[in-house]
Amino acid sequence: MAFADSCSRPAGSSKGEAAPEGTRKYLLGGNWKSNGTVASCEKIIADFNAAGPIPANAEVVIGVPFIHIPICLQSLRSDIEIAAQNCSLTGTGAYTGEVTASQLKDLGVTWVILGHSERREGFGMAGEDSELVAKKTKMALSEGLKVMLCIGEKKEEREAGTTMDVCAEQLKPCAEILSKEDWANVSIAYEPVWAIGTGLTATPEMAQETHANIRQWMVDNVGADVADAVRIQYGGSMKGANAEGLLSQPDIDGGLIGGASLTLDFFKCINAVP
């Protein structure tokens, strides 16, 4: 029995109509990154628990630091799933400091964020390349986790017109190693690196163009059926003030939201779902 099964989380509530069968359900992911104390986590949980109903055509997931996963599984409303922000390439064993996909699954975590630009770049340590991200993704899926797979270009790559070259290079190892069945449990989070934490945001039209190109790449390299079903989230400084315009685009199926997910502005993003 997973740890989460022994927890009595408060019930959530929903509003509106569920996504029609055969259509993509919106996916609103939060990423708390390495932020928060026990006290601040308790405050966010209390705020989110009192924030009212979630649209029935939206799935909501919060990526929290490893140390705050248990308190979220115990106290956060049950209609918000819990994600880890990383998992190891390995199974259990002599891998000091690593947290495995199987351990996360055993705890009751359902999602993991992989390939985030901050981890690809590294912070005082070597960054993770696309082959490593693909192998981690396969490992996480094999243990029953769902994956938010992050891709995206830097400012100089956008200006050089190589956005899709970069995204394709990051997707290619996953396309080579994942089965079509695997993709049913993967979302693609497109995060223009130049827009993360900078206050800059792609216009809805810019974001839509890249999302449509990513979907077409999936048609050409994985299959039209997978491309039509896979959800593509926008991960470049989505917040309450711009969420409605972004989520109105036909190929933007949600968001991976950083700073705003640490406040009630996250629910403004959630409630912007069409």
3-state secondary structure of 155: helix
Look up residue 54 and give its two tokens: 């979630």
The answer to whether residues 257 and 30 touch, using CB atoms and an 8 Å cutoff, is: yes
Q: 211-267 pLDDT, tens per residue?
A: 999 999 999 999 999 999 999 999 988 999 999 999 999 999 999 999 999 999 999
Torsion angles phi and psi, residue 57, rounded to 5: -95, 20
Q: Quote the pLDDT of residue 6.
A: 79
Distance of alpha carbon 199 from alpha carbon 262, whole angstroms: 16
The answer to whether residues 100 and 91 touch, using CB atoms and an 8 Å cutoff, is: yes
Distance of alpha carbon 191 from alpha carbon 175, whole angstroms: 19
3-state secondary structure of 234: strand
Active site residue 191: yes
The answer to whether residues 232 and 212 touch, using CB atoms and an 8 Å cutoff, is: no
* Entry pTM: 0.96
Look up residue 15 and give its two tokens: 């509003």
3-state secondary structure of 233: strand
pLDDT, one tens digit for every residue, the chain (274 residues) = 778 787 889 999 999 999 999 999 999 999 999 999 999 999 999 999 999 999 999 999 999 999 999 999 999 999 999 999 999 999 999 999 999 999 999 999 999 999 999 999 999 999 999 999 999 999 999 999 999 999 999 989 999 999 999 999 999 999 999 999 999 999 999 999 988 877 777 899 999 999 999 999 999 999 999 999 999 999 988 999 999 999 999 999 999 999 999 999 999 999 999 9
Distance of alpha carbon 216 from alpha carbon 163, whole angstroms: 14
**From the candidates 59, 68, 81, 116, which is the catalytic residue?**
116
**From the candidates 59, 153, 191, 211, which is the catalytic residue?**
191
Which amino acid is it at 272?
Answer: A
Active site residue 21: no
Distance of alpha carbon 152 from alpha carbon 191, whole angstroms: 5
